[in-house]
Amino acid sequence: MPHIVIEYTANLGAQARIPELLKTVNQTMIAQDGVFPTGGIRSRALRLDDYRMADGAADDAFVHITLKIGSGRSEAVKKQVCDALFDAVKAHFAELYEKRYLALSLEIVEFSETGSYKHNNVHSRFKKT
């Protein structure tokens, strides 16, 4: 953990620069002073071909990010992480935001470890010896 799911409307096309956004998201999470183990960070983007925004009359677009984390972090840490992540997303889309109607949003979902099953050997690559 964490898992970052980015949903974006298809009308953003290549201008969304999704591969670059995924890289930025992961770098932002890694930079959070060890809050999350690097080997557990996952990000993915889902292009939405079927959607409707507002009244459907304009070429409106949106990007919604869900940050899924396990429980146990303080409110201050969660705020710090979400602030950093949302700032990075806003910076990524700043130029596009100035040119078109675009809604950006972020939510955090925290769940109990008893509801999460994991089998992951990627962590071993990041252990300090």
The residues annotated as belonging to the active site are: 2
| Largest interatomic CA distance in the chain | 58
Establish how many alpha carbons lie within 13 A of residue 40's alpha carbon, considering only the half-sphere containing its beta carbon: 16
Exposed e or buried b per residue across 52-86, where buried means at least 16 C-beta atoms within 10 angstroms of its C-beta: ebeeeeeebbbbbbebbbbeebeeeeeeebbeebb
Question: Do the strands 42-48 and 102-111 form a parallel or antiparallel pair, or are they unpaired?
Answer: unpaired
- Structure-token pair, residue 48: 């939405």
DSSP per-residue codes, 96-108: HHHHS-EEEEEEE
